[in-house]
Amino acid sequence: MSFKLLDSGWADEIDAGVRATPGSILIVCPFIKRRTAERLLSVRPPADFRIVTRFDLNAFNAGVSDLDALELLLQNGAKIRGIVGVHSKMYVFGSTRAIVTSANLTESAMFKNKEFGFTTDDPDISLQCHNYFKGLWDCTKRDLTASAIEEWRLKLAPLRAGARIGSQLPVLAKLSGRSHRSFWSPPQRRRCSLL
């Protein structure tokens, strides 16, 4: 078993996880860019390929995250769900390899920014990461669709053309009454904001 603290080399670590051809890839990441998504797809993804991210039109409009990236991931078999306020970054490959980091799936995070976190093949830590992912995933039952992405593109089009449609774009979510309990906190009622 290994546990490594890292402050660089995130792209290499994620590439190694993908190349290991795990039975599943589970990702929690608020911001995803197309070039990094392409890199993630350099090896055919497994059947269980799931992502929890944010669906925030402001982030898409600002270029912090890409609708093209989400569309590409969908086209390659990913199931994608959105939760308001998700900010953690976690990549779980199969049942034993996990990466927890400050790095989003963006070129800046992978190669330029000062990011910190760890990678491990400890099965106990990986199980805790799986449980965290499952808690987020179960907050919503609605998978992203290509038609939703197209609808969001139409909402963003006037901004791309220079028109002003207000100061703030919507975060595309609603409040759910479902409880979300993390594995490290005492039982409590929490609400997941989700799409």
Which residue from 111, 110, 42, 124 is spatially nearest to 76, judged by alpha carbons?
Answer: 42
54-58, 160-164, 191-195: lowest mean pLDDT where?
191-195
38-42, 63-67, 123-127, 169-173: lowest mean pLDDT where?
169-173
Residue 68 has pLDDT above 90, yes or no: yes
Please, is 72 exposed, middle or buried when counting C-beta atoms within 10 Å of its C-beta (0-12, 13-18, 19+)? middle
Encode pLDDT of 72-88 as tens digits.
999 999 999 999 999 99
Report the greatest alpha carbon distance in the chain.
Answer: 55
What is the mean predicted confidence (pLDDT) over 20-31?
A: 94
Q: Give the pLDDT confidence score for residue 43 in this predicted structure.
A: 85
Encode pLDDT of 84-118 as tens digits.
999 999 999 999 899 999 999 999 999 999 999 99
What is the mean predicted confidence (pLDDT) over 136-154?
A: 95
Residue 54: pLDDT band (50, 70, 90) is very high
Residue 181: pLDDT band (50, 70, 90) is very low
What is the mean predicted confidence (pLDDT) over 157-167?
A: 64
Complete DSSP assignment for 19-37: HT--SEEEEE-S-B-HHHH
Contact 88, 52 (CB under 8 A): no
Q: Give the pLDDT confidence score for residue 22 in this predicted structure.
A: 86
76-90, 140-154, 165-179: lowest mean pLDDT where?
165-179
Domains and CATH numbers, the chain: 3-194 (3.30.870.10)
What is the mean predicted confidence (pLDDT) over 111-133?
A: 96
Residue 178 has pLDDT above 50, yes or no: no
